[in-house]
Amino acid sequence: MVKGALGRSLRTAALCCATVLAPVAARADLLIENVTLIDGTGAAPLPGASILVKGDRISLISPSAIQHGGGVEVINGKGKYLIPGMMDTHIHLQRGVIRGANVPNDMTLTTEALHGYLYSGVTSLMNYGGTEFIFPLRDEERAGKIVSPRIFSSGQSLAVHGGYGDGPGSILIDDWAKAKPEMEAHYKKWKPDIQKVLIDRHGVFTPLDKVPTIENLRDALQVSNEHGVRTTVHAASEEDYELSLAAGIDAFAHVIRYPASDRLIARLATKQIPMSTTAVVFEYIARIADDTTFLDEPLFKATVNQEILGLQKADERTRYINSKMSAQYQSMRAMVPTNAKRLYDAGAILATGTDRTWGPTLHMEFALMQKAGIPPAAIVKMATLNGALYIGRQKDLGSIERGKLADMVLLTADPTKDVKNLQAIEAVIKDGKRIDLKKLNVPANKQTMAK
Ligand SMILES: [Zn+2]
């Protein structure tokens, strides 16, 4: 806090030398000074910067000091790095239960997962599915009733009879006369942030050759857009990607998991359609069969409770092995990072996403992208501004620019040198307010309290 006398002397100085000093801040809420700013746009880091937040928005960015009056919370950023809040553009938030495990069905695990994301520096989440559960939770988040990253979500998916995702969670668009009013009612009731389409003609285990016709898909995407809803697709094969592109999809929920032609890579880059990377879902499920040690890494221990980690190493691991999912994902484990690097080189918009349910997996995703040869500075942009582009909220989120919502993370190490440094989190700011990381409901804090 600025002391009264100091505040007054600064104001006096500002009055006498107004022509040479940076603008004066009045009644500001938060000032981060002398920090290296990495703004998320891909611009070169700016050392010695000051960022002033008023209310929930970024009000001023200066390459030097900003004079200020009293009533400002000042964060000294010397030797530190300020980035926009990170985003996971593909998650499935668990409703208090981990599939296949005998744990209580209450909101504890959901709260822990949300707090774990904040602890991991994640301030925006794009969730898929879980309509009745997720939209009330989103309402609570938007009303400021819960401590949580921003929640964005799809509701029911679009699929076809006999195709991938044919089931109670989906609206089946091949029966268009029935599907169209269903979609409209769904949008009216829940106002989803995105519409997910499921197209996967090969399936993971068995061929599911039913996919929508291009006319059918085009009609459906049009209805979504007319209701202000962006569209994304779980597509798998090259044909699935081509069909989605031809029908006018707005985003892709995965990077292609099969060998892809140069032609498709070029088209995806030219069209500038954001893609969620999701390499870690394949890495996680393939790797857990013969190596569970990644679940012992510090960020997992800090944010996911031991019981759940134990179940991942036992029940979930067995399920992945027995279902042959681990074996099936071995080839995709290498293919997705390879394709991500090709897309990056071609100039496509990649947004980091995990298809998982915990904050630490996003940091695994960053490591996989770096290992694939994407420079760490580019990964920072993938985790921030590109995430906002994916969600369609780039006007308000994703970068540290004047007028945007103040979602930011202060790091003690340089993330443009190594994405590991994205875990060196000192402060997380959402909506201009500093989150009290010590009060989050995560194992790290319980361990401290137990000592
Ligand atoms: Zn998914």
What pLDDT does residue 449 have? 52
State mean pLDDT over 328-335.
92
90 CA from centroid of ligand 1 (Å): 6
Dihedral sign of CA atoms 40, 45, 46, 50 in order: positive
CB 111 within 8 A of CB 93: no
pLDDT level of residue 105 (50, 70, 90 thresholds): low
49 CA from centroid of ligand 1 (Å): 38
Residue 26 has pLDDT above 80, yes or no: no
Residue 108 has pLDDT above 90, yes or no: no
Q: Are 42 and 166 members of one domain?
A: no
451 CA from centroid of ligand 1 (Å): 38
What pLDDT does residue 53 have? 96
Select from 397, 417, 433 the last residue of a domain. Answer: 397
45 CA from centroid of ligand 1 (Å): 33
Segment 210-247, tens digit of pLDDT: 999 999 999 999 999 999 999 999 999 999 999 999 99
The H-assigned helical ranges of 258-375 are 262-271, 280-287, 298-303, 306-311, 317-322, 325-346, 359-371
Q: Are 66 and 135 members of one domain?
A: no
Indicate which CATH number applies to the domain containing 95: 3.20.20.140
Q: Are 286 and 199 members of one domain?
A: yes
Residue 206 has pLDDT above 70, yes or no: no
The residues near 64 (Cβ < 8 Å, ≥ 6 apart) are: 22, 48, 49, 50
pLDDT level of residue 209 (50, 70, 90 thresholds): confident
Dihedral sign of CA atoms 52, 152, 93, 370 in order: negative
Residue 18 has pLDDT above 80, yes or no: no
DSSP 8-state class, residue 369: H
Does any domain span residue 248?
Answer: yes
What pLDDT does residue 13 have? 36
Does any domain span residue 22?
Answer: yes
Residue 12 has pLDDT above 70, yes or no: no
Segment 290-323, tens digit of pLDDT: 999 999 999 999 999 898 899 899 999 999 999 9
355 CA from centroid of ligand 1 (Å): 5
63 CA from centroid of ligand 1 (Å): 41
Residue 255: which domain range?
A: 85-397
Q: Are 148 and 69 members of one domain?
A: no
What pLDDT does residue 11 have? 36
Q: Are 70 and 161 members of one domain?
A: no
Residue 446 has pLDDT above 90, yes or no: no
Residue among 300, 282, 274 nearest 337 (CA): 282
436 CA from centroid of ligand 1 (Å): 30
362 CA from centroid of ligand 1 (Å): 14
- Count structural domains, the chain: 2
166 CA from centroid of ligand 1 (Å): 15
Does any domain span residue 171?
Answer: yes
DSSP 8-state class, residue 312: I
CB 90 within 8 A of CB 391: no
417 CA from centroid of ligand 1 (Å): 30
Q: Are 38 and 99 members of one domain?
A: no
Indicate which CATH number applies to the domain containing 17: 2.30.40.10
Select from 79, 99, 114 the last residue of a domain. Answer: 79
Q: Give 205: exposed, middle or buried? Use CB within 10 Å, 0-12, 13-18, 19+.
A: exposed
The H-assigned helical ranges of 154-273 are 176-190, 214-226, 238-247, 262-271
196 CA from centroid of ligand 1 (Å): 10
pLDDT level of residue 191 (50, 70, 90 thresholds): very high
Q: Are 217 and 69 members of one domain?
A: no
Q: Are 59 and 154 members of one domain?
A: no
89 CA from centroid of ligand 1 (Å): 10
129 CA from centroid of ligand 1 (Å): 9
DSSP 8-state class, residue 111: H
Residue 88 has pLDDT above 80, yes or no: yes
| Pairwise CA distance, residues 74 & 427, whole Å | 13
Q: Are 42 and 143 members of one domain?
A: no
204 CA from centroid of ligand 1 (Å): 13
CB 70 within 8 A of CB 7: yes
Select from 44, 79, 114 the last residue of a domain. Answer: 79
177 CA from centroid of ligand 1 (Å): 28
Does any domain span residue 449?
Answer: no
State how far the alpha carbon of 424 is from the alpha carbons of 363, 399, 450, in Å: 11, 19, 24
Does any domain span residue 42?
Answer: yes
State mean pLDDT over 412-418.
98
Residue 106 has pLDDT above 80, yes or no: no
What pLDDT does residue 8 have? 37
Quote the crossing angle between the two packed helices 108-119 and 359-371, to the nearest 10°. 40
State mean pLDDT over 374-382.
98
Residue 266 has pLDDT above 70, yes or no: yes
State mean pLDDT over 193-206.
86
CB 400 within 8 A of CB 84: yes
DSSP 8-state class, residue 60: E
Q: Collect residues with CB below 5 Å from ion ligand 1.
A: 355
What percent of the chain stands above pLDDT 90?
81
Segment 422-443, tens digit of pLDDT: 999 999 999 999 999 999 999 9
Strand partners, 429: 408, 434
Segment 39-61, tens digit of pLDDT: 999 999 999 999 999 999 999 99
300 CA from centroid of ligand 1 (Å): 20
What pLDDT does residue 100 have? 47
What percent of the chain stands above pLDDT 70?
89
What pLDDT does residue 435 have? 97
Dihedral sign of CA atoms 271, 218, 277, 117 in order: positive
Token pair in block for residue 46: 């700016």
Residue 445 has pLDDT above 60, yes or no: yes
What pLDDT does residue 331 have? 86
Does any domain span residue 410?
Answer: no
431 CA from centroid of ligand 1 (Å): 27
Residue 35 has pLDDT above 90, yes or no: yes
Residue 356: helix, strand or coil by DSSP?
strand
104 CA from centroid of ligand 1 (Å): 23
158 CA from centroid of ligand 1 (Å): 14
What pLDDT does residue 70 have? 79
Q: How far is CA 254 from the centre of its chain?
A: 13
111 CA from centroid of ligand 1 (Å): 20
7 CA from centroid of ligand 1 (Å): 51
Residue 389 has pLDDT above 70, yes or no: yes
254 CA from centroid of ligand 1 (Å): 8
What pLDDT does residue 447 have? 62
User: Mean of the per-residue pLDDT values for the chain?
Assistant: 90
